[in-house]
Amino acid sequence: MTKKAQANTTQANSAITSYDFDAIIIGTGPGGEGAAMNLAKRNKKVAIIERYHNVGGGCTHWGTIPSKALRQSVSQLIDYNSNPLFNAGQNAKQLTFQDILSHASAVIRKQVNLRSGFYHRNEVEHFYGEASFVNANTLQVLRIDGSIDTITAKQIVIATGSRPYRPDNIDFTHSRVYDSDSILSLEHSPRHIIIYGAGVIGSEYASIFRGLGVKVDLINTRDRLLSFLDDEMSDSLSYHLWNNGVVIRHGEQFERVETSDDAVIVHLASGKKMRADCLLFANGRTGNTADLKLENAGLVADGRGQLKVNEYYQTDVDSIFAVGDVIGYPSLASAAFDQGRICASAMLDGTGKNRLTVDIPTGIYTIPEISSVGKTEQELTAAKVPYEVGRAQFKHLARAQISNNLVGSLKILFHRDSKEILGIHCFGENAAEIIHIGQAIMQQTNGGNTIEYFVETTFNYPTMAEAFRVAALNGLNRLF
């Protein structure tokens, strides 16, 4: 937009003395919900725009909630088949992908009802349809029936999330080709699936399908799985997937995908060919900004459809903010909700006092889970921080033996001199829950964040939380 056009837009906006709403939120995922609830509870007149027929965004309908619900069902199936108390002398119980989808659908319905109640109780007005900018304070909403609503607001929050990246040379309309959204519409029961992309989504679905007894080929475009993790956690996941029969191919790129009525063949740049019943393409995501007509508001998204924001989640246009996947890292539902909440505070007082926590925990819902908070060993080594390691193997814990969850470990990284906890990494069942005990101690100030806390406190026995005491003792014993 030229300076003259921007000036005209500014004049047009300043001519508006009153708005329909104090704030309009585009998108009802975690980021949009966090912003809308905080603003509504501060007596602001708020509207939400959702293009889907129910609130919740991609997190509820296609991403976090359904995939974790699927994972839970498969994990319980694995527990049942591996426990001789329940399955002695019987054939292993079999479930199909369609069987476990019913559980995911029930969870989605409950989440939608819960979140719809939040908006109604706080008198947030709903608009269902496709949103697009007219100018920096005006939006059009194209409803399904073709009618158009034009609404204005003093401030607007873009919380439209992201969608799976789809290369142009792959036919995603074919019945054997899926992405991480469309896989939920899988109608046949594959015996063999190729998953292209070994990031968080690809690794999680590799666990899900392998747990159902499906043959899985996992194609990784990098040289190791989830390279942002501590190397030990990454290696543990690689070994566990390999031990369960997942074939992992590292450092590969697809060249083309060949489809037929009953199969799909992936041709790799290395010359390899792989054949399976279907393909799940899970390599990258793109911000949902293409249909917003951002140029009318004076905004430009980058090549990945993402928007640039400042520390208050404000875009280059003062009246427009953005949160969640549409701004990129960390692209976590948990962080998006906090971003929305913090963004709303900044919208209210002009300067946000709160900040997103530095040590954001990551939860990866493979089977078993992985969760981390703080620094990795490779980061500390590169920074030349003198650290030590304390470890606890789950197989040595009474609670793990009772529940038959013997696979996994907890690792605590701490400073050799101050004993400050620098990072915590967990691999095993309920890792995403266990990690929060350590996270709480890491946030303590005035000398409260030390590994000695875990030795000096008393844990319930038997519990998985006891792993912190075992790991702390192990680490302190390494000091000299």
**Residue 51 annotated as binding?**
yes
**Residue 451 annotated as binding?**
no
**Residue 107 annotated as binding?**
no
Strands (E), 122-261: 125-128, 130-135, 138-142, 148-158, 162-164, 177-179, 192-196, 215-219, 247-249, 254-259
**Residue 56 annotated as binding?**
yes
**Residue 203 annotated as binding?**
yes
**Residue 50 annotated as binding?**
yes
**Residue 251 annotated as binding?**
no
**Number of alpha helices (DSSP H) and beta strands (DSSP E) in the chain:** 14, 22
**Residue 201 annotated as binding?**
yes
**Residue 93 annotated as binding?**
no
**Residue 267 annotated as binding?**
no
Tokens read off for 133: 């900018």
Q: Of all helices (H) and strands (E), which one includes residue 104? A: helix 97-121
**Residue 343 annotated as binding?**
no
**Residue 53 annotated as binding?**
yes
**Residue 199 annotated as binding?**
yes
Select from 441, 404, 418 the least CA-distant residue to 82.
404
Give the strand order in the sheet containing 273-276: 254-259, 264-268, 273-276
**Residue 270 annotated as binding?**
no
| Main-chain phi, psi angles of 389, to 5 degrees | -120, 135
**Residue 198 annotated as binding?**
yes
Tallying the residues shown for the chain, one arrives at 480
Helix axes 231-243, 200-211, angle to 10 degrees: 30
**Residue 204 annotated as binding?**
yes
**Residue 213 annotated as binding?**
no
Select from 137, 142, 140, 143 the least CA-distant residue to 157.
137
Cis preceding linkage at 30, omega within 30: no
**Residue 328 annotated as binding?**
no
**Residue 161 annotated as binding?**
yes
Q: Of all helices (H) and strands (E), which one includes residue 392? A: strand 387-393
SS3 content of the chain, % helix, strand, coil (to 5): 35, 25, 40
**Residue 238 annotated as binding?**
no
Cβ distance 316 to 353 under 8 Å?
no
**Residue 54 annotated as binding?**
yes
DSSP state of 111: H
**Binding-site sequence positions:** 50-59, 68, 160-162, 197-204, 284, 325
Annotated binding-site members for NAD(+): 197-204, 284
Return binding residues for FAD: 50-59, 68, 160-162, 325
